[in-house]
Amino acid sequence: MLNLESLLLRLSNAPGPPGFENAVRQIVKNELDSYVDSLETDGMGSLIALKNGPPDSPKIMLSAHMDEVGLLVRYITSDGFIKFQNLGGWLDQALIGQRWQIMTSKGIVLGITGIKTPHIMSVEERGKVLKGESLFLDVGAKNKTDAEERLGIRPGDPIAPSSEATILNKSEFILGKAWDDRAGLAVLIAVMESIKDTNLPFHVYAVATVQEEVGLRGAHTSSYAVNPDIGLNLESGVAGDYPGISQYEAQEKLNGGPAIFLHDSSMLPNLKLRDFVTETADKAGISLQFNVLSGYGQDGAEMQKAFEGTPAINLTVPTRYLHSHNSIISLEDVKLAVKLVEKCISTLDLKLIESLKNFD
């Protein structure tokens, strides 16, 4: 039996900035191996696992992305500080005063984003937000040569946040750096475990994509590799249940169950799929939430645009403080998301798939 909690912690702790998902891919591969009939990677590194259905049967694609927001070494200054490039959408404020792991050929190097000591700041300076281009990592190097030769740091080396996942004060909440989208990946793995011995009238593809945070790049190629009939993308949702966020901006709450994005700036879901998922949740007694966001962007958008188009939907695990060193999810929501996706898959049949694809 899969231990969901320990899987979540392991997934969040693995470093995997966009394009450098190796450590995450290894975990997903090991976990999925005994649940599926084949495992392949496409030319960009997305992992495509397949649980076979009958020959020529439809293809259901589940996806979740392996990468997290990170940084990349831009250059090393002569006095040994690291200037960096953002990989994915960081707020400049979230970058400051944090620990980071630089993934070098010699192994992980710890660095911190230092901030000027307030004692010497003018009143004006104290009120200002520092711009990303003025920031740097301090790795304790004596100079450039020391950073290069002793620590093995080179331009282009990926950098992941350093922040160990942990249960928050004995609650059902879990703190971690990478719930976007390791929460979705955990759901993907747990669903494949739960259906491993079930004979289904269709193929189920479990796809762990790369480079979502820099523009849904892995979902693009893997959707073409699979050419699905129906797509379910599993993502981290935007919780709006803490001070400073209005209901208008985000409607999901932690412990309210999984959610469906009904609008984000990258896609509109197929409404027949919305209704199917809603009915399935109702019948199973799973609380389901809806979220309409003005912004965002996620892999479901690429799935629905591949080839002639695919009915697709984005299902989420509500998450607080996305794209920071410390995001929060609820284990209860993850469990309910697994149950919901599993129910959706076991309820789907060929007739239903045909009707979802029918626009008459």
> Which residues have a catalytic role annotated?
212
One-character DSSP codes across 278-322: HHHHHHHT---EEEE-SS---THHHHHHSTT---EEEEEEEEBS-
- How many residues bind Co ion, per CB under 5 A? 2
Question: Closest by alpha carbon to 173, among 158, 160, 163, 183?
Answer: 183
CB atoms within 10 A of CB 319: 25
Minimum separation from the CB atom of position 65 to Co ion (A): 6
Q: Closer CB to Co ion, residue 104 or residue 221?
A: 221
Q: Report the run of H or E that residue 175 belongs to, with start and end.
A: strand 173-176
One-character DSSP codes across 92-137: HHHHTT-EEEEEETTEEEEEEE----GGG--HHHHTPPPPGGG--E
Q: Closer CB to Co ion, residue 280 or residue 291?
A: 291
Minimum separation from the CB atom of position 324 to Co ion (A): 13
Q: Does the protein bind Co ion through residue 252 (CB under 5 A)? A: no
Q: Of 68, 181, 229, 302, which one interacts with Co ion (CB under 5 A)? A: 181
Q: Of 31, 67, 180, 193, which one interacts with Co ion (CB under 5 A)? A: 180
Q: Using CB under 5 A as the criterion, what x/- string covers residues 20-49 for binding Co ion?
A: ------------------------------
Task: Pick the stretch among 176-184, 222-230, 284-292, 311-319 that binds Co ion (CB under 5 A).
Answer: 176-184
Minimum separation from the CB atom of position 181 to Co ion (A): 4
Q: Which letter does DSSP use for residue 161 in this model?
A: E
Task: Pick the stretch among 118-126, 173-181, 218-226, 280-288 that binds Co ion (CB under 5 A).
Answer: 173-181
Q: Closer CB to Co ion, residue 16 or residue 53?
A: 16
Q: What are residue 85's DSSP bridge partners?
A: 72
CB atoms within 10 A of CB 180: 30
CB atoms within 10 A of CB 99: 15
Task: Pick the stretch among 6-14, 172-180, 217-225, 323-331 that binds Co ion (CB under 5 A).
Answer: 172-180
CB atoms within 10 A of CB 312: 26
Q: Closer CB to Co ion, residue 221 or residue 266?
A: 266
Minimum separation from the CB atom of position 54 to Co ion (A): 33
Q: Exposed/middle/buried for 35, CB within 10 Å: 0-12, 13-18, 19+? A: buried
Q: Closer CB to Co ion, residue 253 or residue 323?
A: 323
Minimum separation from the CB atom of position 93 to Co ion (A): 20
Q: Give me the residues that bind Co ion (CB under 5 A), please.
A: 180-181
